[in-house]
Structure 1
């Protein structure tokens, strides 16, 4: 004797029962009814959607050639542990991420050579101008953020980035709901109709970036995107002259999880956007499979200013290629209180003057 197959209600998840009168599957909990064939098709769709298959070939980067690293130096931050790379003509005194002193720890060794680099298009003066514009007119900003000597400390850093290319195949199953309402003068009625909606699609991804530095906040790096890869060139150490470069501490394998998250979310959004005409739409199941998944290693240009105030770290960043600038600003609550009481005193004085004026009338 074969096992009895149990079907769940797509509307509420309750166990469906066959109703001999209507010859349909009926839910005793929400009283929804479904055709037997429709329920079978729905369950078959759920069974045949596979799990995500998002594997990568992650042999990004290349080996350094003899002599390429001879003129490169490594500075180590003893506070955050970051390793900053420069050429022999450029020195570093402070860590661009935590603003603590760095010490030269010797010649550069280890790590992979980047495949590509996007050179800086905006210089330090442009970055300072963007920061000044960002804080312009903010009366309640702490003084340290306005101090010109501090603004001079903005640093140009090449951030290590893993770039992922893939063809994504997405399959999704949704529960769509349509509502119909009417009235017969005595009662108001609402009819809820449920639909099983299937969608499949292919999306091609190129150069999905994931930064390879644990010191650089993912949210901050992603907020200054996009970078235009058309300006990327084959990596040469000459591009590091006058700038710092962060040595990656998150490799391509470790970056796959973030790349998969970005690709999966975007693929689901694109496929969901093709479903129209329903009052509500709920994802029931889905999978994303990758094909031709490969990665590259590049350095992207970023201007960084790190500031600590009132025990909290604030980081500002500007895209060194496009000029896009981001960063949160704090409020000096001491200045805020003085500003507030100044406004209150001014309003009181005005009210008092009006009172006197009215008294003379």
Structure 2
């Protein structure tokens, strides 16, 4: 079992704990909570036991993933010719494997890899202060990497800007201690090549109004519109990590894929990289949907000059091609406030940010009564006047 990386952090707010000789207790630098030494030791003993199990489970899962990936590739042509082509994916890390190491989170199960000089003391997804360093065991080697373009300082500024103008945001949530939790992570993505071919039928109308004597007449013309076409697509992205919410990943798109680089571990120092835990086959429905929607949108964009247009039917088929494996840059922040976790994600290339913010009940009800009371008074006056 590899040695445990341990940072004693406050169970209430995840701030750092330090020992105070006068009280003989551990105290939190941020929220002021105090703990007996034995209490924290017991908590971390439990975490170490969870970490040991997580490390063992991860080793078993790695072997299973490699076996499943190999089976996907070999079965592609013989069993399911309509599936995505994964034959180009490779598990050969070569000499790079010697310079890699792995971390496992005992809390949420995240499996992270990085260049050996990168240290990790907490999980970027759930904020758990313990992650277990271990020996890197190869999974599929990425085909591409999109390097980070924006720095941590850029991410801090973007988050502060995201807070601005949010009237219902509690003031305590914006305190600076949350900012330090931002981490850079490469999120795994499957990228799909292929072609969508299909047609669509629309019911469209065009109306115009004119006067005839004392009458105002509106004439509506009805049209049946037909469109067909094909769209070749390249590197349609679907995130391959269950830890990162799909709606967050969709929200911070698009990335500029012209800046994709052939994968090299030279881009990893200082950052963590998540290992995929959603397979190509599990991503099939989402990938197919994104490809079909691309053609649907393209066909709809050609229907112009009508006041109203409604899709009345159609059919789309896919010619599924190669699948690529890529790592895309995301700055993420996970913080805990009022016993609830909040995750923010920022595109490490463009700066686009997404996340859920808490609501101050005090501000909400203050605004509610500020509006409701005057309206109630005005209604009463109106009734008396009647």
Whether TM-score is above 0.5 comes out as yes
User: Offset at 1:266?
Assistant: 2.4
1:225-236 equivalences in 2 (<5 Å)? 225-236=253-264
Q: 1:186 to 1:164 in 2, by over 3 A?
A: same
For residues 353 and 192 of structure 2, the distance between their equivalents in structure 1, rounded to whole angstroms, comes to 25
2:93 pairs, out of 65, 73, 82, with: 65
* CA contact 2:209–2:219 (8 Å) conserved in 1: yes
The structural deviation recorded for 1:251 is: 1.8
User: Counterpart of 1:17?
Assistant: none
Q: In the alignment, which of 101, 124, 143 is matched to residue 129 of structure 2?
A: 101
Give the match for residue 13 of structure 1.
Answer: none
Q: What residue ranges of structure 1 are gaps of 5+ in the alignment?
A: 1-52, 348-361
Q: In 2, are the aligned partners of 1:75 and 1:102 still within 8 Å (CA)?
A: no
- Is the CA contact (8 Å cut-off) linking 2:123 and 2:131 kept in structure 1? no
CA contact (8 A) 1:179 1:190 kept: yes
> Is 1:333 the equivalent of 2:361?
yes
Among residues 243, 246, 250, which one is paired with 2:278 in the alignment? Answer: 250
Please name the residue that 1:90 is paired with: 118
* Pairwise CA distance, 1:144: 4.7
Query: In the alignment, what sits opposite 2:152?
Result: 124
Task: Report how far residue 192 of structure 1 moved.
Answer: 6.8
Q: Any conservation in 1 of the 2:82–2:320 contact (CA below 8 Å)?
A: no
* 1-structure distance, mates of 2:210, 2:146: 61
Map of 1:299 onto structure 2: 327
**Cα distance in 2 for residues equivalent to 1:59 and 1:96:** 32
**8 Å contact 1:94–1:101 — kept in the other structure?**
yes
Residue number in structure 2 paired with 1:150:
178
Q: After TM superposition, give the deviation of residue 261 of structure 1 in Å.
A: 1.0
Structure with greater helix share of residues: 2
8 Å contact kept, 1:54–1:260: no
Taking the aligned partners of 2:129 and 2:229, their CA distance within structure 1 comes to: 51
How far has the Cα of 1:188 moved from its partner?
Answer: 8.9
The correspondence of residues 249-288 of structure 1 with structure 2, limited to 5 A, is: 249-288=277-316
TM-score, normalisation: structure 2: 0.66
SS in 2 for 1:112: coil
Mapped contact 1:60–1:297 kept (Cα < 8 A): no
User: Using a 3 Å threshold, how does the CA distance of structure 1 residues 171 and 338 change in structure 2: closer, same or farther?
Assistant: closer
In 2 relative to 1, CA 256–238 (structure 1 residues): closer, same or farther, beyond 3 Å?
Answer: same
Q: Partners in 1 of 2:198 and 2:343 — Cα distance?
A: 37
Q: Which residue of structure 2 lines up, in the alignment, with residue 42 of structure 1?
A: none
Find the aligned partners of 1:134 and 1:290 in 2 and give their Cα distance.
39
Runs of 4+ in 1 over 4 A off after TM superposition: 137-140, 177-195, 335-341
Once residues 212 and 367 of structure 2 are traced to their aligned partners in structure 1, the CA distance between those partners, rounded to angstroms, is 62
CA distance in 1, matches of 2:168, 2:221: 55
1: CA distance, partners of 2:151 / 2:260: 17
Is 2:190 the partner of 1:162? Answer: yes
Q: What RMSD in Å do the two structures reach over aligned CA positions?
A: 3.2
**Aligned residue number for residue 29 of structure 1:** none
Ranges in structure 2 where 5+ consecutive residues have no aligned partner: 1-80, 375-386
Does the residue aligned with 1:150 lie in a helix, a strand or coil?
helix
Deviation at 1:320, TM superposition (A): 1.0
Q: Residue in 2 aligned with 1:359?
A: none
Q: How many residues align?
A: 292
- Could you tell me which residue of structure 1 aligns to residue 250 of structure 2? 222
Deviations 1:272-302 (A, max 9, x none): 2222454543323222223362221110011
- Give secondary structure in 1 for the equivalent of 2:95: coil
